[in-house]
């Protein structure tokens, strides 16, 4: 007849097949869900400085600074298959040197069970807003957009851009005050 090893191997293969089927069924229940949400972003203070970039031959580059408000209700994005959200705020702008510039200036991880109702006032950027030249001073078309990655228990990792964005302008003159 069959040995104990053969029977245990057949049982293990059957168990893995059933678990794979259940995982796929779990994925299908949330695969076509819409993960969009409205956000409101507003800039409070916007400054630009021309400072030395010590990582690149001591040339001076523009560094943008801003204080912003962020409001978003991300609670509807969570379901049984969402483990966490990685949210990040990007600034997009155009310069004569580059057609598209994207800079991540702030991010946050929200895990299931944490407060996903964001109502932040006077947030400072988490990361420096450097330009690889002098493209920030007087730039009239900078767009802030909130995006997020949905980290599921099983399935694909959607990257979603919010439906709200904010456009602002950098001043025409450099700031000399301390930030």
Per the structure block, which two tokens stand in for 88?
């990040």
Within this chain, do residues 51 and 65 fall inside the same structural domain, yes or no? Answer: yes
> Tell me: the pLDDT tens digits for 53-73?
776 666 788 899 999 999 999
Residue 8 structural domain? 1-32
Within this chain, do residues 163 and 81 fall inside the same structural domain, yes or no? Answer: yes
Within this chain, do residues 72 and 118 fall inside the same structural domain, yes or no? Answer: yes
Per the structure block, which two tokens stand in for 42?
């507003």
Average pLDDT rounded to a whole number, residues 89-111: 93
Asked, for residue 3, whether it belongs to a domain, the answer is yes
pLDDT at 33: 87
Domains: count for the chain: 2
What value does the mean pLDDT of the chain take?
90
pLDDT for 28 beyond 90: no
Asked, for residue 177, whether it belongs to a domain, the answer is no
Name the H helices within the chain.
4-30
Within this chain, do residues 62 and 12 fall inside the same structural domain, yes or no? Answer: no
What is the model's pTM?
0.85
Those residues whose C-beta lies under 8 Å from the C-beta of residue 153, and which sit 6 or more positions away, are 26, 80, 81, 82, 83
Measure the CA–CA gap between 108 and 100, rounded to whole angstroms: 24
CA angle 71, 75, 81 (to 5 degrees): 140
pLDDT at 32: 85
Asked, for residue 44, whether it belongs to a domain, the answer is yes
Kindly indicate the confidence band of residue 31, based on its pLDDT and cuts at 50, 70 and 90: confident
Within this chain, do residues 76 and 97 fall inside the same structural domain, yes or no? Answer: yes
Average pLDDT rounded to a whole number, residues 123-140: 90
pLDDT for 1 beyond 60: no
pLDDT for 135 beyond 90: no
Closest residue by Cα to residue 171 from 65, 97, 88: 65
């Amino acid at each position: 007849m069959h040995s104990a090893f053969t029977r245990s191997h057949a049982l293990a293969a059957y168990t893995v097949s059933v678990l794979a089927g259940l995982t796929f069924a779990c994925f299908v229940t949330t695969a076509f869900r819409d993960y969009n949400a409205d956000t409101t972003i507003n800039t409070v203070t916007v400054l630009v400085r021309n400072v030395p970039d010590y990582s690149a031959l001591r040339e001076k580059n523009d560094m943008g600074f801003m204080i912003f408000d962020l409001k978003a209700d991300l609670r509807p994005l969570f379901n049984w298959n969402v483990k966490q959200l990685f949210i990040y705020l990007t600034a997009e702008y155009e310069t004569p040197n580059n057609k598209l510039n994207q800079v991540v200036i702030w991010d946050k991880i929200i895990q299931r069970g944490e407060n996903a109702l964001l109502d932040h006032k006077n947030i400072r950027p988490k990361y420096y807003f450097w330009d690889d030249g002098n493209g920030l001073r007087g730039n009239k078309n900078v767009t802030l957009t909130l995006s997020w990655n949905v980290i599921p228990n099983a399935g694909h990792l959607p990257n979603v851009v919010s439906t709200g964005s904010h456009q602002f302008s950098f001043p025409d003159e450099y700031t000399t005050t301390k930030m």
